[in-house]
Amino acid sequence: MNRLIVALLCGLLFGAGMVVSDMINPARVLAFLDVTGAWDPSLAFVMGGALIPSSIAYLIRRRLDAPVAADAFHVPESRRIDLPLIGGAVLFGVGWGLVGLCPGPALAALTTGAWQAFAFVAAMITGMAVFRLTLGRET
């Protein structure tokens, strides 16, 4: 099976999921994060729904020596909780809480033509490049 076709197909499902779940709308995400305001539980249903097939797949993986179309699994195996992990999660949490966009929904929102999505994604890619040139130089 062609891995590029599989990547395209999985991207297609993921992108459709962003729209169907309404995670493409930052106001809905912020309403979930706003637990003391008019709370909207949608994001919890998205997470719960996503974890069903995902968990089953990771259980199946334990019985497989290799994936169907590749030589080996490339799944992160580290168990170390360190400063980069926590520092990165803190920064991501601040940015996510400020705007209501995380990477998946931000990319999906580009397709609506909203200028805000283009500004956010351009800045996000710049932030990734800045990481690559600074703390991510050697990794």
Partner 1 sequence: MSPEPLSFVWPLAGGLLVGLSAAIYLLVNGRVTGISGLTATAIGLARGSPRTLGFGFIAGLLVGAALASALIRRPEVQITSDLWLLIAGGLIVGFGTRWGSGCTSGHGVCGLARLSPRSIAATGVFMTVAGLTVFVTRHVLGGVG
Query: CA-based angle 67:72:75, to the nearest 5?
Result: 90
- The distance of closest approach from Cβ of residue 16 to partner 1 in the complex, given in angstroms and rounded to an integer, is 4
- The distance of closest approach from Cβ of residue 128 to partner 1 in the complex, given in angstroms and rounded to an integer, is 4
Note whether 121 and 107 are within 8 A (CB).
yes
- The distance of closest approach from Cβ of residue 63 to partner 1 in the complex, given in angstroms and rounded to an integer, is 11
- The distance of closest approach from Cβ of residue 106 to partner 1 in the complex, given in angstroms and rounded to an integer, is 8
Enter the DSSP assignment of 96: H
Other beta carbons within 10 Å of 106: 22
Other beta carbons within 10 Å of 114: 13
**Residue 92 in tokens:** 């991501």
Tell me if residue 110 falls in helix, strand or coil: helix
- The distance of closest approach from Cβ of residue 136 to partner 1 in the complex, given in angstroms and rounded to an integer, is 6
* CB proximity list for 40: less than 8 A, separation 6 or greater: 28, 31, 32
